[in-house]
Amino acid sequence: MSASAFGALVEVQSPPSIASPAAVVRKDKQGIAHTPSDQELVELQQGRRQPAVTPGGVSSNTATDVRTPITPGELESHLASPGENEGYGPAPTFSNPSKTKWRFVSTCLMSFTQGLNDSAPGALIPYMEDDYGIGYAVVSLIFVTNALGFILAALVTHILEMKLGRSKCYALSMALLAAGYVIIICKPPFPAVVASFFLLGFGLALSLALNNVFCANLANSTAALGGLHGSYGLGGVVGPLVATAMASHGVRWSLFYGISLAMSLFNLGFAAWSFWTYEKELPTQLLGALQQTASQQAHGPDSVSKSRLLKQVVKNRTTLLGALFIFAYQGAEVSISGWVVSFLISYRHGDPSHVGYVSAGFWAGITAGRFFLSHPAHYVGEKLSVVVLVIGSIAFQLMTWLIPNIIGDAVAVAIVGLLLGPVYPCATAVFSKLLPRSMQMSSLSFISAMGSSGGAVSPFFTGLLAQKVGTYVLHPICIGLYGVMLVGWMSLPRIAKRSE
């Protein structure tokens, strides 16, 4: 074959011209090119933008084949549904970023302080009644104002975090606690004590919602939540022990809150330091840019999306059932902690200086359950574990009611605490899996507020009924609340399995 004939069969093309290399993305930026604009923020929050996310962390436009780094909000919207085929980096661990371990310690210390706050009234109520000359019904008002603080916090927690950032929100919550404790320590008229519990409720609700969201998004969230709420239980053990020891030795009951005041002031500084750069760590804080954009806007188009988000929260099935479940859970927990000592004094003729420690046994059970049963519950399955634990709680609550023996009652109460202990972290882990990431903060705040409402309504009505018929009403009320928990839990949606 001649060279000319061969050349006719072969077409030689020049190599393509060298194009400019793709834009280099700094390693520390993790593919985040810019902070979302105002319009992008609204579109992202309203769900109108649905980027296609590739394993490389970029969004692609199939029409133009242009690949651009995704924004944190786009990544968030891609992660929102647990049923999607998701490709994103690992959740934060205790070693990455480096401050995570200190942040977790800070959340546990704040939770410990909350345990001190919530468990002490049960041991101090008899002394408060004697000091102010009031009965069960009037002293129960502290539970009501505490719940009102939680409810108000549920409405504004998400907005406060957007505007102030995580660190300043924690500082605000601890400052409110410190203010409330100062009022109580001064032993003012009882209405001022009631008002101070409103400040305590608001401050505790704010930190609780932030703590739950932080731990729920760590690697192995069930264990992290178990440690968080185990710290709460540990504070619940220490509270009645110290309060009973102080009050029974003639120390004025209000001085107990000096310990809580010192803890809240320490937590203020520690939390502010550990979370100070939280929003700037974009590689692990997926919502950082979204939060920074929103925090810079006092007025703007995001106001519409906020109201829409609130409507989505109150209409979400998981949020409503979770609120019902935690309402009943905390109603039973606070009722037992607050009134079991009075029950033992009235019906078992116990000595206040001794039976006050039964409340500590209840919280010791909760602490042990959260530390030692939360992890096994994760492997068994949170949904099944909670059902078994609640049924066991019903059985031992009946024993406390029917066994006419102080020692037997004390053991049964401690076992009830052991069984109830892992329920809260298991429930929070399940709620976090069912809720879209964009709704977690608002939904968990709402659930926490309803839980505190249960922690106010149930002990308040227990006190009213105890004034009329006796403190034995504690037990049928708790058993009824356990039934509500089972109904709410069994009605939750199924958890969609992730496909990788």
Q: What is the mean pLDDT of the chain?
A: 77
Please give the model's pTM, rounded to 2 decimal places.
Answer: 0.67
Look at residues 357, 332, 333, 334 and name the one whose alpha carbon lies nearest to residue 344: 357
Q: Which of 85-89, 154-158, 220-224, 252-256 has the lowest average pLDDT?
A: 85-89
CA dist 480 → 26, 59, 276, 329, 438 (Å): 57, 51, 44, 11, 34
Model pLDDT, residue 415: 96
Model pLDDT, residue 249: 86
Render pLDDT for 244-296 as a digit per residue (tens, 0 to 9): 889 888 899 999 999 999 999 999 999 999 888 777 764 444 444 344 444 44
Judged against a pLDDT cut of 80, whether residue 427 lies above it is answered with: yes
140 with 358: CB under 8 angstroms?
no
Percentage with pLDDT > 70 across the chain = 74
Rounded Cα–Cα distance for residues 309 and 218 (Å): 24
315 with 98: CB under 8 angstroms?
no
Domain ranges in the chain with CATH number 1.20.1250.20: 97-299, 301-493
Render pLDDT for 451-490 as a digit per residue (tens, 0 to 9): 877 887 888 888 888 888 888 899 999 999 999 999 999 9
Residue that wins the pLDDT comparison between 155 and 41: 155
Model pLDDT, residue 38: 42
346 with 471: CB under 8 angstroms?
yes
Torsion of CA 220, 224, 226, 229, to 10 degrees: -150
Look up the CATH number of domain 97-299: 1.20.1250.20
Model pLDDT, residue 12: 53
Per-residue pLDDT band for 81 (boundaries 50, 70, 90) equals very low
310 with 442: CB under 8 angstroms?
yes
CA dist 31 → 34, 68, 282, 414 (Å): 9, 9, 10, 51
Model pLDDT, residue 40: 44
Section 37-47 average pLDDT: 43
**Cβ neighbours around 285 below 10 Å, total:** 19
CA dist 463 → 125, 283, 455, 471, 477 (Å): 11, 50, 12, 8, 11
Judged against a pLDDT cut of 80, whether residue 358 lies above it is answered with: yes
**Residue 62: helix, strand or coil by DSSP?**
coil
- H helices of 189-316, in order, are 190-216, 221-248, 257-274, 288-295, 302-315
Beta strands in 20-134 (DSSP E): 58-61, 66-69
Architecture of domain 301-493: Up-down Bundle (1.20)
Rounded Cα–Cα distance for residues 336 and 202 (Å): 23
**Residue 69: helix, strand or coil by DSSP?**
strand
